[in-house]
Amino acid sequence: MNESGIARPDAVVGFWCETLTAKDWWQSTPELDARVRKKFAATHLALSRAVPDEWRASPEARLAAIIVLDQFPRNMYRASPLAFATDWIARREALLALDAGADKAVDYGRRHFFYMPFEHSELLADQDLSVSLFEAHGDETYLDYAVRHRDVIARYGRFPHRNGFLGRVSTPAEEAYLAEPGAGF
């Protein structure tokens, strides 16, 4: 970390991909959310303003930028509009990374993070891209989630489970969907 509290890309990847486990990624706790916020809030804020060249210098650095912009806010700002505020920047960085072939240059077990910004998008074209990327990735679990995310966007045009956090009014169809067991992500 530098003097302003901004983490380096290797510290982000080390924490997210080596210190934490897949269970931590998908079943976070309030304690982990607080830990991510304390450790990386300054980094997230800095990258939300501008993504420095250092964060695009290698496939692993690109991975770190996407983790900071797409994954960390979901922990740091859970149940808040801020959880989604940098999604568009993460999507841009993911597109740049794909154009550079960065996803293919990292370990298979980390590659899916390049595709998550498209799965988190409320644009159907991004959802279709997510599904195609996860099909090529070859992991059936991740593909299942991608298809389920796309199906929600195809049906509602947005993620109904975000409505309350974003001040959106749910339609009756969305309310019925949200009442189903396992609805939302």
- Res 183: pLDDT: 86
Task: For 105-114, write each residue's pLDDT tens digit.
Answer: 999 999 999 9
DSSP 76-132: HTTTSGGGGTTHHHHHHHHHHHHHTTGGGGS-HHHHGGGTHHHHH-S-HHHHHHHHH
- Res 185: pLDDT: 74
- Res 182: pLDDT: 85
- Res 3: pLDDT: 61
Task: For 113-160, write each residue's pLDDT tens digit.
Answer: 999 999 999 999 999 999 999 999 999 999 999 999 999 999 999 999
Q: For each of the domains in the chain, give its residue range(s) and CATH number, in order of start.
A: 1-111 (no CATH), 121-184 (1.25.40.10)
pTM assigned to the model: 0.95
